[in-house]
Amino acid sequence: MLRNIEIFIFFLIFFGLNFYVFMRLFTMMPAVMPMRILLIISAVVVQLPFFVSLIWGNSLPTKLTSILYIIGTSWIIIFLYLLLIFLFLDVVRLTHLINIKPFMVHNWYGFGVFTIIISVLLTVGNINYYKKTRKEINIEISKYIPQNQLKLVIISDLHLGYNIGKLELENWISLINAEKPDAVLIAGDVVDNFIRPLEEERLYKTLRKIISKYGVFMALGNHEYIGNIEENLDFLRRANITVLRDTAVLINDSFYIIGREDYSRKYRKRLATITDDLDKSKPIFCIDHQPIRLKEARQNGVDFQVSGHTHYGQVFPINWLQKMMFETPYGYNKKGNTQYFVTSGIGIWGGKFRLGTRSEYVVVNITHESANVQKHE
């Protein structure tokens, strides 16, 4: 019952704010009847596709669902910026500091400038999304590393599905393989919502093309649970990805990789339970989708933890809000002997726009502290 009330309140707020945005657009645009009719039609067309794709998407043709999903999720980003700009203009109008009322009422010039600003933001955001950033970090740990160096490639939040498919994935894999990593760690959300588009494009075969010395290891994200978890796990198995669910695996008798269940799972084990029987003289690397309760890693002998999930907000100013939500919403952090990296993700949820953030893959060079001391002597 409480859950239903929360959903109702969410929809009430969402559609209420959409009504505010469209009323502001209606007031600003020139009083030309065809334009007004088009705006009213658009008010319905851009809001419904996301919910239709989410609820009935798997029953519709894949291409149609993909179009609906792209339109619906792109509108969410457009809506965010329209809302912020109109709220700002209304604050200015109400303070009477500047007389902007003529600009906001049936004004060709105002509507034109407004349209250009939104178009430029979306264009820049789309270009930024497709420019994948190579993020490289060098970390030292006190424990022995084979050959005194280990190279990991970290990716997260691929969100493969109705919006991101084979072509993008193949480009990402080329970037990963060019690094010649010892291991690839995936910090969750390979699957966006539903497995159908991944199966139709046989993306499990594409994922098999990732080349690394020790393999590909993954912790589940919250999105793996939106669809059918068993189908998603079967897909990941066929993709030659080792999914670690509150378990640890010893690699080459040299270091451990732990993968944790997503924080949203009530049955998730305590990290102490997972690390209890491990040889803590060996390096321990942990994959945890959501960067929550980071101190657990420090308390249980983890040397390096990688997370994703946040996307670093995807667009400004959501990234600012995340600084209040997460201890480390993005980037490198160190607490005691434990080092962390939270990646913004190589893919994206919804509309393909990045403003104030970048999509990335992370190259981590891990070395033994004493080896670096000897190198400098």
Phi/psi at 102 (nearest 5 deg)? -60, -30
Angle, nearest 10°, between helix axes 108-130 and 2-28?
A: 130
Buried b (16+ CB within 10 A) or exposed e, 147-174: eeebebbbbbbbbbbbbbbbebbeebbe
Tell me how crowded residue 315 is: count the other CB atoms within 10 A of its CB: 23
Task: Give the model's pLDDT for residue 123.
Answer: 95
Nearest CA among 41, 64, 37 for reference residue 53: 64
- H, E, C per residue of 56-81: HHHHCCHHHHHHHHHHHHHHHHHHHH
Residue whose entry in the numeric block shows the structure tokens 């075969």: 205
Out of 3.40.50.20, 3.30.43.10, 3.40.50.300, 3.60.21.10, the CATH code matching 132-376 is 3.60.21.10
Task: Give the model's pLDDT for residue 376.
Answer: 41
Beta strand 304-307 pairing with 338-342: parallel
pLDDT digit string, tens, across residues 237-264: 999 999 999 999 999 999 999 999 999 9
Q: Which residues of the chain have pLDDT under 70?
A: 1-4, 370-377
Q: How many CA atoms lie within 13 A of 334 on its CB side?
A: 8
Residue 90 and residue 109: Cα distance in Å, rounded? 18
One-character DSSP codes across 103-171: HHSS-HHHHHHHHHHHHHHHHHHHHHHHS-EEEEEEEEESS--GGGEEEEEEE----BSSSS-HHHHHH
Cα dihedral value 346, 350, 355, 361, nearest 10? 0
One-character DSSP codes across 162-197: SSS-HHHHHHHHHHHHHT--SEEEE-S--B-S-SHH
Instruction: Locate CATH 3.60.21.10 in the chain.
Output: 132-376
Q: How many CA atoms lie within 13 A of 374 on its CB side?
A: 6
Q: What angle do CA 210, 215, 220 make, to 5 degrees?
A: 90
Task: Give the model's pLDDT for residue 2.
Answer: 53
Task: Give the model's pLDDT for residue 370.
Answer: 64
C-beta separation of 294 from 335 below 8 A: yes
Please say whether the dihedral angle defined by the alpha carbons of residues 142, 145, 151 and 154, taken in this order, is positive or negative.
negative
